[in-house]
């Protein structure tokens, strides 16, 4: 940007404020504004602004001419309106009511009474910003409520599925007659499961996915619960405990759900869920 030769320098409290005129319009040195608003990072503060609200200009300093970041009048308003510092509003009033009207009339800073037109434009801008801020707040609140509703639904689904598995295991009782008679018979069931494992392969040689399938297959063999119901429970726990929705991930792919879990690196979490589920079930039945 090419600035006019005039540079207005004035004080606001203990802060120096420099204004450069570009095509007759005032542009503020960003560092000076950030000092008033206590923004320690000028670059980060300028990132909030639109491209047309910021630029650079050569500014005369005690160390010589330097290229410095500058912001337009609307950029100044945007920084002030997003600031939470108590000095933001008085600073804005001072700029709008005294500095800008004087610069537009004389080309330099002189204390002048506020111009009604500029004040009306400021009120309109503040009202528009307030409306936009309210919209953003309402959108965030709606998103928060939607997330809470989704979490409540997941908890409800998980509770329903777990309850259905317990009811099915209690109703079908395939192999449960012997498990319910004595603790010794419960251990016999565990021996049967371990025998199945040994007949398949050494556990250390199995992949994580194979271990999961072996656990589920053994559980279904002992209880009669369906393979599908067990994995439905596991996938819900993945979603609730690890915030991973395999059904959503696999929706637009041709992968099976277990393939998608493995593809996304969630297979170890699924294995942990399977282990906790199986040994929790064994513990309840051994103490029954």
The residue ranking higher by pLDDT, 107 or 142, is 142
Q: How confident is the model at residue 286 (pLDDT cuts 50, 70, 90)?
A: low
The residue ranking higher by pLDDT, 162 or 214, is 214
Give the per-residue pLDDT at 163.
74
Q: What is the pTM of this model?
A: 0.36
What are the boundaries of each domain within the chain? 7-114, 144-286
pLDDT in tens, 211-240: 898 889 888 888 888 989 999 999 999 999
Average pLDDT over the chain, rounded to whole?
Answer: 78
> What is the chain written as a DSSP string?
----S-EEEEEETTEEEEEEEETTEEEEEHHHHHHHHT-S-HHHHHHTS-GGGEEEEEEEETTEEEEEEEE-HHHHHHHHHT---TTHHHHHHHIIIIIHHHHHHHSS----PPPHHHHHHHHHHHHHHHHHHHHHHHHHHHHHHHHHHHHHHHHHHHHHHHHHHHHHHHHH-TTHHHHHH-HHHHHHHHHHHHHHHHHH--GGGS-HHHHHHHHHHHHHHHH---HHHHHHHHHHHHHHHH---HHHHHTTSS--HHHHHHHTT-HHHHHHHHHHHHHHHHHHHH--
């Amino acid at each position: 940007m090419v600035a006019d030769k005039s540079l207005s320098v004035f004080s606001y409290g203990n802060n120096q404020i420099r204004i450069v005129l570009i095509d007759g319009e005032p542009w503020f040195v960003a560092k000076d504004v950030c000092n008033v608003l206590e923004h320690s990072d000028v670059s980060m503060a300028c990132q909030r602004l639109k491209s047309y609200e910021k630029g650079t200009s050569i500014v005369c300093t005690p160390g010589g001419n330097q290229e410095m970041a500058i912001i337009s009048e609307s950029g100044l308003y945007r920084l002030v309106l997003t600031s939470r510092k108590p000095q933001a509003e008085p600073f804005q009033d001072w700029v709008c009511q005294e500095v800008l009207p004087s610069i537009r009339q004389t080309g330099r800073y002189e204390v002048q009474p506020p111009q009604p037109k500029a004040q009306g434009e400021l009120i309109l801008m503040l009202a528009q910003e307030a409306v936009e801020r309210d919209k953003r707040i309402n959108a965030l609140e709606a998103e928060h409520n939607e997330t809470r509703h989704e979490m409540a639904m997941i908890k409800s689904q998980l509770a329903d599925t777990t309850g259905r598995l317990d009811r099915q295991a209690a109703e079908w009782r395939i192999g449960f007659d012997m498990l319910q008679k004595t603790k010794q018979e419960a251990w016999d069931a565990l021996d049967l499961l371990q025998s199945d494992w040994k007949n398949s392969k050494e556990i250390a040689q199995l992949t994580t996915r194979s271990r999961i399938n072996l656990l589920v297959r053994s559980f279904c063999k002992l209880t009669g619960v369906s393979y599908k119901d067990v994995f439905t429970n596991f996938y819900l726990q993945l979603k609730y405990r690890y915030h991973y929705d395999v059904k959503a991930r696999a929706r637009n792919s041709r992968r099976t759900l277990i393939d998608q879990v493995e593809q996304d690196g969630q297979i170890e979490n699924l294995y942990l869920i399977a282990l906790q589920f199986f040994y929790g079930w064994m513990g309840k039945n051994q103490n029954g």
